[in-house]
Amino acid sequence: MAKLIVADDHPLFRNALINAISHTFAATSTVEADSFEGTCTALEANPDADLLLLDLHMPGNCGFLGLIQLKKEYPVLPIVVISASDDPDVVKRVINFGASAFIPKSAHPVEIGKALQAVLDGDTWVPPGMRHLLTQRPGDDSDTDLAAKVAQLTPQQYKVLYYLTEGWLNKQIAYDLNISEATVKAHMTAIFRKLGVATRTQVVILAQRLQLEPPVDKALKS
């Protein structure tokens, strides 16, 4: 019996995925999660999971960083990324960052079943019209290395980083986080060090390459 973890914050779509799974596989056990934190908890509680379906934009999953983090912690576990976006650049990055498949949320249940079966058989799957992306040579490892560095930031540092990419001033960041400007500067110093840059502009340019997602307030702690 295959055990799959279904991680998506939308109950209706999560149920649709589970229904697609049950119609494809006669004997399957599913575990549900509705946040990135819940996904991590589910993985810890189910070390025998055969596959993870991960919503790319669920709460706490900051763009590609969640995928990078999970592949680092569970290198053998196949991860199928689910996303409402079907941008070819996003699909290519997802596969380059270690996902075994990319399934758009618009996919037909039959297509979802085919994708999951392919992954369980050890193959990589993307929508038929994007299969040429699998034959393209991946770029260098700079984006992967950058994502790994950003993943090392604390939740508060990540939020400062995100606000920097949005063009916020230090005093605006301090007000939103209810901290002093001196603390914001301290976070920025730590961000510069971890990312290996020297200026605010360099930080913004690097961060924009990862298409950072807004942080989830409840997941942030000082």
For the chain, what are the domain ranges? 2-135, 153-219
Mean pLDDT across 140-144: 63
* Helices marked H in the chain: 11-24, 36-45, 65-73, 88-96, 109-120, 132-135, 142-150, 155-165, 170-177, 181-195, 200-208
Taking alpha carbons only, the member of 34, 9, 8 closest to residue 21 is 8
Percentage above 70 pLDDT, the chain? 87
2-135: CATH superfamily: Response regulator (3.40.50.2300)
Q: With a threshold of 0.75, does the pTM exceed it?
A: no
What confidence score (pLDDT) does residue 39 get? 94
Judged against a pLDDT cut of 80, whether residue 208 lies above it is answered with: no
Judged against a pLDDT cut of 60, whether residue 137 lies above it is answered with: no
The answer to whether the Cα torsion of 32, 127, 94, 161 is positive or negative is negative
Residue 216: pLDDT band (50, 70, 90) is low
What confidence score (pLDDT) does residue 213 get? 66
Fold of 153-219: Arc Repressor Mutant, subunit A (1.10.10)
